[in-house]
Every structure is written in C-alpha cells, then in structure tokens.
Amino acid sequence: KNLTAVSNNAGVDDFGLGLLLQSGQIKRMISSYVGENKLFEQLYLTGHLEVELTPQGTLAERLRAGGAGIPAFYTPTGAGTV
C-alpha cells in the first residue's frame, strides 16, 4: 500500500499496474505516458492518485543516474522556453 510506481506507462485496466491501481496499492505514479488506463484517469481526477509526468528520456536518465549513485543531472528539456 502507498506505493510509488515508476513506469514509462500506466499499464492497462486489467493487467500489470492496472491490477495494483484496482487494489488501491499505488499512491503516486511517475510516468511518461498515461493514456490507456481508464481507472488511472478516474483516480487522478478524483484526487486519489498523485502523478508526476516526466519526458521518457528524462525518466530513463533519472533511473540510470539513481542506480549509479548520481544525485542530480542536467537535462535541457524546457530550457529557455520561459
């Protein structure tokens, strides 16, 4: 319970992460794509699920850096767009 799931997508309704969402075990989701799971949408829109959307390349680098013990890194995503 109260899991944080990190995945490039939110799975589908009756398989994988969808099963964990159904049972209420995921509290926070870090993902790059969330478009195919209706339950995910419902949980997010009703405030029962925290969501952090991250570009896919940045998500992969966060996982790689974390596994290598690198606490921070720079990515130009969005740089200079303000």
**Res 68 pLDDT > 80:** yes
| 61 vs 12: CA distance, rounded Å | 24
* 10 token code pair: 């939110």
Q: How does residue 3 score in pLDDT terms, banded at 50, 70 and 90?
A: very high
Helix (H) or strand (E) run with residue 28 in it:
strand 26-33
Q: Give per-residue pLDDT as tens, 8-56.
A: 988 888 888 999 999 999 999 999 998 888 999 999 999 999 999 999 9
Question: What pLDDT, on a 0 to 100 scale, did the predictor assign at position 19?
Answer: 93
Classify residue 71 as exposed, middle or buried by CB count within 10 Å of its CB (0-12, 13-18, 19+).
exposed
